[in-house]
Structure 1
C-alpha cells in the first residue's frame, strides 16, 4: 500500500494516530524507459530530468532556485481519463486501505478509551507502545520491497499473507477480548502485544505499494484519493461509529442493541478474509520490469544511510524529532482527561464526526497555501495556534464542568476542535509538500519514507513519557472517614475507575491532591516553545531556502 494522508484530528480531540503520517509512495527506481536514458558515463541528470513533466523540466533548466510562479501556465496539468479497469482498481485500493485503517484506528484510538476505566496512565503508557510499528516501518521496508514470489506477484506476495494474518488476529482477539478487557490491569502486557502485532502487520501492508502498478501510470495521482477515502473511512468506522454503538448510554437513548468489541472484530474478520480470497483467485497483478537495485536489500539500506549522511537531512530529521513536543501532552492525554472528567465516549465520537468535513476544507486551503518555493511558511505559522490550543485545552480540563455536560459547553468543544484541527491540517500539508519538493525522484519512495518515519516518530516517542509523567507527578489518596476522623490510605493508584472502586470497597473516596496532567502539559508547552524559537524556526527557514541540488545524494 502507498503512504498517504493522515486522519488530521485536532490537538484538542486527538490520539496516537495524530503522530502517524502516511505519504504517497513513488517508485524507488525510475521506469525502464528512464533507465535507458542514462548515458555511458552513468550520469543521472537525464534520468532525473525525464521524470519531470514539461513545465518542471523548463524550471529545472532555468535553475534550482527559479520561481515556479514565473513560468506561464505553471501548475496546470492535463487530466487523464479514468478507464473502467482503473475505476475497479480504485475501488479495490479503497477497500484495502479501509481494512488497513480499521485495526489501526481500533488499536490506537478506541481501545485506550475503553481501557481508561480500568488502567492508570502508566499502564496506558505501556499500551501506547503499540503505535510504534507505524513510526518504525522504514526498518523493514527494504525487505518488503525486495523479497517476493514471482509466481504470486511482487505485491500479492505480501498483501495476501498480511491480510490473512490481520483477519486471523482479529478473530483470535474477538474470542478473548472480553476476558482481557475485564481484567485489563492483569493483562495489559498481553493486550499490548496483540495490538502491537496487529498494527505492525497493518504497517507492513502499507509498505507494499500496490498502487504503483494497480493503477495506470497516468492515473497514479488517484492513489492518494483512494488512500484518503479508505483510511478515513476505516478510522471513522472504528472510532466514531464503534464508540457510539458501543456506548451503553447511546444504546439506551436510541433503543438499539449495544455493539460489543468481539462482534465488531468478527465482522471485520469476515470482510478481511473475503477480500483476501478475492485477491488470491480473481485479482491479477501486472508484471514489473525490475533491475538489480530493486532486488538488493543491502542496496536500499545503503541508500537510506547515504540520505541520512546529508547535513541538511540531519538537520531536518532532528527538527522532526522535537517539532511535536509542545503538543505532546495535549495529543496524548487531553482526550483521556475529558473522558475522566465526565465526557461520554459517544459525545467524543460525535465531536470528531462534526469536525470531519472541516478537515476536508482545511486540507484544500492548506494545499493552496503550501504552494510555491516556501511550503514550510504555513507550517511555521500554524505552530503558534497549535501551541495556543494546547494551552487552551489545559484550561478546558481545569475548568471542565461536572456531568452532565451542557449543550453550550459541548458546542464550545466542537468549535475548539474544528479550529485546532485546521491548524494541525495546515502543518501536515505544509510538511508533506516540503518532503515532496526535496525528495530525489530517483529514490523517491525511500527518501520520502525516511522523512515521514522521523515525522511520525516525533509525534510517537513523547507519548509514553507524557502518560508516565501524568501518574508520576499526580498525588491522589484514598480518604476513609472513620469515627469522625478522616484517614488517608495510600493506594496503589487512585486514578482509574478500577482504583477508585477499590478505594470505595473500603469505604473511602479518591481525592486528587495534585493532578500531574497540568505539570506535564506546562513542561511540554514550555519545552516546545523553546525548541521552536531557538531551533525549529531558524532551521526551517534555512532548509526551505536551499537549492534542490543540496538534497541530492551523489
Structure 2
C-alpha cells in the first residue's frame, strides 16, 4: 500500500479516535482482536474473487484491516467519509495504473490462452443444451416435453454442492486440477461422440426419446460444470498475482465464444435456407458434435503429456471438505443472507416467462432460427458495452441502485415481448419489424446486463475477504438458481393453461376433438394428417406471462426495493461469519 494511502488511513484513524468515547474504543479494540484471530479452512474455486485460503496470512490480515477501514469510514461524518473514500479510490486507481504499465509476461500470455480454450470447451455443451437443441426440438415437442428437457440446465446452477469435493480430492502425481480436468474433458468428448452417432435416432423422433435426450445433455452439463470448478481453481495459480484479474476476462471470452458458437452460429449454419442464401456449407448437428469431440480429445492429450501443473502448497485446512460445508452453512444462517436469498429466488420471476418461452413462441409464429441468430449476434457487442457502463454505475456506496432501476425496464420489455408475440405478423416479416425486434433485443439485454453487473458488484463488496471464493460462489449460486428453477414451471404451465381443439370436417359435419398436444408442431401435424385444423382457444403463454408480470411488480415494490435499500446500507462487518 502506498505512503499516501497510509497517511490517509492515519488521518482517518485520528479523526475516529476523537469521535469515539474511550469505552467504545476499548470495545472496538477487543472486537478487532477477535476478528484478527479468525481463521478459515476454505479453498477458493472461482476466479472472480482472487482471495483464497491459500493467500498468505499477512495478506489476509491486511484484507481484514481494509474491512476495519470500511467501519472507520462509516463512523465518520458524511462529508469526511466522502473525502476519505475519494482519496482511497484515487489511490486504488493509481495502484491499478501502475500494474497496467507492467508488460504481461509470456508465461501469463500462454496461461490466458489455455484458460480461454478450457472455458471454450465448457461453453460448447452449454450452448447446445441451453440454446440450440431446444429450438431444434420445438418442431416436435410440446412445451411440457421441453420443460423436461430444460432440467438439463440445472446442474450448472448447483455446482456449489460438490465443488468442495473437487477442490479437495485429487492425485498429487497428476496434479490438483488436472486430476479432474482430464477425465471430465475425456467424458465430455465421449458423450458428444455418442450423441453424434445416435443423433438421427434421437432427433427424428424426440418425443419417443425425450428421457434419453434429457439424460445425455444433463450429463454433459454436469460434467462441464465439474470441469468449470477445477478450471476456476487452476486459474488462481496459472496466472501471476498481478495478472490474476485476467482470469475472469478469459472466462468471459471462452464461455461466451463457446456458447454463441453452439447457439447462434450453429443455428444459422444448420439452416438450409441460410446455407443456400449465403452459399455456405450446411452444418449438421452430428458433424458439429464430432468436431468438438475431436477437439476435446486433442486438448486433453496435450494437457496430459505436455502441460505440467505446478504444485500448490496445500495444508490440512485447505482440504477439509467438512470445513467448507460448515462455512457454507454458517453463511446461510446470517439474517441478511437469508433476506438476500429470498430476493434472488423470486426476483427474476417477473420476467421468467419472457426468458423461457418468448423466443420459442416467436419461432412457433414463423420467426426463422437464422433470423433469431442474427439478432443475438448483433446484441453481443452491446452486452459488452452495457457491462462496462454498469460497472461504472455500480461503484460507490449504493451498488444496488442501478440493479433496482433496471428492474423497471426489464419488466417493461418483458411485457412488450408478450405483445410482440400476440401481434406477430404473418411471415415473411418486413425489414422494419426485424429492426424493431433487434432494438428490443438489445435494450432488453442491456437492462439484464446492468442487473447482472450491479448484483455482482454488491456480492464483491459484501463477501468476507477471508473466505471470498466460497462466499462469492454461494451468492452466485442463488443468483443462477433464481433464473433456472422457474423455467420448468413456466414451460409446463404454458401447456397446462392452453386449450386447443382439432376440428375435423367429416361428411358435412364438423367434429371437434380436444387436443392439448395441438399446441406443438407435432400435434398440429397429427391433426392435419386426419384432415383437421388446430384451433387454439386459449394460449397458456399469455396467462403465464401476465401472472409473472403482476407478481414481478408486486414483489419489486413490496419486498425487493425496501430490502435492497436496507442491505446496501449495512456495514461490511455485518456480512462476516465467525469461524472456530
The one-character-per-residue Cα deviations of 1:241-297 (angstroms, maximum 9, x if unpaired) are 100000111122123331110100000001111100111111111111112221110
Please say if 1:386 is aligned against 2:410: yes
1:47 aligned residue: 60
Query: Do residues 99 (structure 1) and 121 (structure 2) align?
Result: yes
Deviation per CA, 1:207-234: give whole Å up to 9, x if none. Answer: 1121001111111000011111111111
Confirm or deny: 8 A CA contact 2:47 2:247 kept in the other structure. Answer: no
1:445 shift after superposition: 1.1
Structure 1 residues 329-338 or 73-82, which shifts more? 73-82
Match of 2:363 among 339, 362, 381: 339
Alignment-derived partner of residue 16 in structure 1:
none
1:62 is matched with: 72
1:306-358 deviation per Cα after TM superposition (whole angstroms, max 9, x unaligned): 11111111111111001100010000000000000000000000000111111
Q: Secondary structure in 2 aligned to 1:455? A: helix
Match of 1:90 in 2: 112
| 1:463 and 2:487 correspond | yes
Q: How does 1:247-262 map onto structure 2 within 5 Å?
A: 247-262=271-286
Report if the CA contact (8 A) 2:128-2:262 is conserved. yes
Match of 2:379? 355
- What is the SS of the residue equivalent to 1:294? coil
Q: Is the alpha carbon distance of 1:432 and 1:23 closer, same or farther for their aligned partners in structure 2, counting shifts above 3 Å?
A: farther
The aligned counterpart of 1:73 is 90
Query: What's the secondary structure of 1:293's corresponding residue?
Result: coil
List aligned pairs for 1:31-42, cutoff 5 A.
31=55, 33-34=56-57, 37=58
Aligned to 1:304: 328
Deviations 1:480-510 (A, max 9, x none): 1223332111335102211111101100111
RMSD (Å), alpha carbons: 1.6
Contact 2:132 2:262 in 1 (8 A): yes
Match status 1:185 vs 2:185: no
CA contact (8 A) 2:353 2:548 kept: yes
Report the structure number with the largest CA radius of gyration.
Answer: 2
Hey, what does 1:40 align to over in structure 2?
A: none
Please list, as runs of the form range in 1=range in 2, the aligned pairs for 1:214-363 lying within 5 A after superposition.
Answer: 214-363=238-387
Q: Cα 1:23–1:64, aligned 2, differ >3 Å: closer, same or farther?
A: farther
Cα separation, 2, equivalents of 1:256 and 1:222: 36
Contact 1:328-1:463 within 8 A present in 2 as well = yes
Q: What 5-or-longer segments of structure 1 have no aligned partner?
A: 1-21, 38-45
Cα contact 2:143–2:495 (8 A) shared by 1 = yes
1: CA distance, partners of 2:90 / 2:526? 70
d(CA) in 1 for partners of 2:438, 2:61: 47
- Is contact 1:117–1:498 with CA below 8 Å preserved after alignment? yes
Q: 1:129 aligns with which of 130, 145, 151?
A: 151
Equivalent of 2:137 in 95, 110, 115: 115
Give me the whole-angstrom Cα distance separating, in 2, the residues matched to 1:74 and 1:105.
Answer: 41
Please give the alpha-carbon distance, in whole angstroms, between the structure 1 residues aligned to 2:273 and 2:335: 55
1:490 aligns with 2:514: yes
Residue 447 of structure 1: CA displacement? Answer: 0.5
Structure 2 stretches lacking a partner, 5+ long: 1-45, 76-80
Deviates more, 1:476-485 or 1:222-231: 476-485
TM superposition shift of 1:61: 7.4
Partner of 1:156: 178
In 2 relative to 1, CA 246–51 (structure 1 residues): closer, same or farther, beyond 3 Å?
Answer: farther
* 3-state secondary structure, aligned to 1:489: strand
- Is residue 90–residue 226 contact of structure 1 (8 Å, CA) maintained in 2? yes
1:24 partnered with 2:60: no
Question: What TM-score does the superposition give when structure 2 sets the normalisation length?
Answer: 0.87
Deviations 1:6-62 (A, max 9, x none): xxxxxxxxxxxxxxxx8724344142x32xx4xxxxxxxx8342478xxx5794473
Q: Is the 8 A contact 1:97 1:230 kept in 2?
A: yes
1:108-157 deviations in Å (ceiling 9; x for gaps): 11000000000000000000011110111111011011111111111111
2:570 alignment partner, SS class: coil
Matched residue SS, 2:505: strand
Q: Distance in 2 between matches of 1:514 and 1:539?
A: 37
The 2-side partners of 1:345 and 1:515 are apart by: 22
Q: Which residue of 2 aligns with 1:446?
A: 470
Higher relative contact order (CA 8 A, sep 6+): 1
Q: Is the 8 A contact 1:28 1:294 kept in 2?
A: no
1:72/1:428 CA distance change after superposition, 3 Å: closer
1:15 aligned partner = none
Runs of 4+ in 1 over 3 A off after TM superposition: 25-28, 56-67
244-253 or 332-341: which moved more? Answer: 244-253
Contact 1:23–1:432, Cα closer than 8 Å, also in 2: no
Residue of structure 2 equivalent to 1:9? none
SS of aligned partner of 1:82:
coil
* Cα shift at 1:236: 1.5
